[in-house]
Amino acid sequence: DGGITQSPKYLFRKEGQNVTLSCEQNLNHDAMYWYRQDPGQGLRLIYYSQIVNDFQKGDIAEGYSVSREKKESFPLTVTSAQKNPTAFYLCASSTAAGAYEQYFGPGTRLTVT
Amino acid sequence: KQEVTQIPAALSVPEGENLVLNCSFTDSAIYNLQWFRQDPGKGLTSLLLIQSSQREQTSGRLNASLDKSSGRSTLYIAASQPGDSATYLCAVHTGNQFYFGTGTSLTVIP
């Protein structure tokens, strides 16, 4: 089955700790994205990558970091500098040319207390 | 910067009714527009993708239209069913990024 996996589904952390969210895709897509979803605010872009070893900041990159060492993987680290990290995080991928149809993973709900 | 708006924010209809969801965007320079469905606590499921050169796409009971010049898209759902209850989001692709609306929460009442 082709698709995007995110793990874990639920994640709990204490304030001040860094945490890394996993995203893996087997769709052979070049582009990958991380979004944050908060109630009433829609999806906001954190980081995106259109090719291995390259990524760009989205609208709300402060307090987050990413890496893209492999085409299939795009992990997101939520650092202690992120002031309000509790949210639903969604990973997506698409082709980097042509139709650009975007596919999403099931999401990770992060709760920081 | 591209802004995407969806009205209404919430909609309740009786089962069997046909309905239209609206999506508007401020910059007509888009590559495509995509409609998604999101169930509570889940990821987004792609419903329809309309390329910038297309006017509409159909899949089963769903029909999406695109008018780039006016910055509008509609998602038409025919003969609604309780299983259609979900949040529907539209997104436009501008070449680098996707921009999302805040969604319309649809409830279909049996």
Task: Say how far apart CA B57 and CA A9 lie, in whole Å.
Answer: 33
Write b or e for each residue in A47-57: b if 16 or more Cβ atoms lie within 10 A of its Cβ, otherwise e: bbbbeeeebee
Q: What is the pLDDT of residue A41?
A: 79
Beta strands in B26-84 (DSSP E): 32-38, 44-51, 56-59, 62-67, 72-77
Q: Which of B90, B97, B77 is nearest to B38 (CA)?
A: B90
Residue contact B43–A102, C-beta within 8 A: no
Q: Average pLDDT of A6-33?
A: 94
Cα angle value B104/A88/B90 (rounded, 5°): 30
Interface of A with B (CB under 8 A): 4, 6, 33, 35, 40-43, 45, 48, 50, 56, 58, 88, 90, 92, 99-107, 109
Mutate to test the interface with B, among A6, A51, A101, A111 (most CBs of B within 10 A): A101
Residue contact B96–A48, C-beta within 8 A: yes
With a cut of 50, which residues of chain B have pLDDT below it?
Answer: none
Q: What is the pLDDT of residue A2?
A: 67
- Mean predicted lDDT score pLDDT of chain A: 93
Task: Say how far apart CA B103 and CA B97 lie, in whole Å.
Answer: 18
pLDDT digits (tens, 9 = 90+) for A36-89: 999 877 899 999 999 999 999 999 999 999 999 999 999 999 998 888 999 999
3-state secondary structure of B96: coil
Residue contact B89–A43, C-beta within 8 A: yes
Write b or e for each residue in A9-29: b if 16 or more Cβ atoms lie within 10 A of its Cβ, otherwise e: eebebeeeeebebebbbeeeb
Residue contact B45–A43, C-beta within 8 A: no
Interface of B with A (CB under 8 A): 31-32, 34, 36, 41-46, 49, 51, 89, 91, 93, 96-98, 100-103
Q: Which residue has the tokens 């596919």?
A: A103
> Among residues of chain A, what percentage have pLDDT more than 90?
81
Residue contact A58–B44, C-beta within 8 A: no
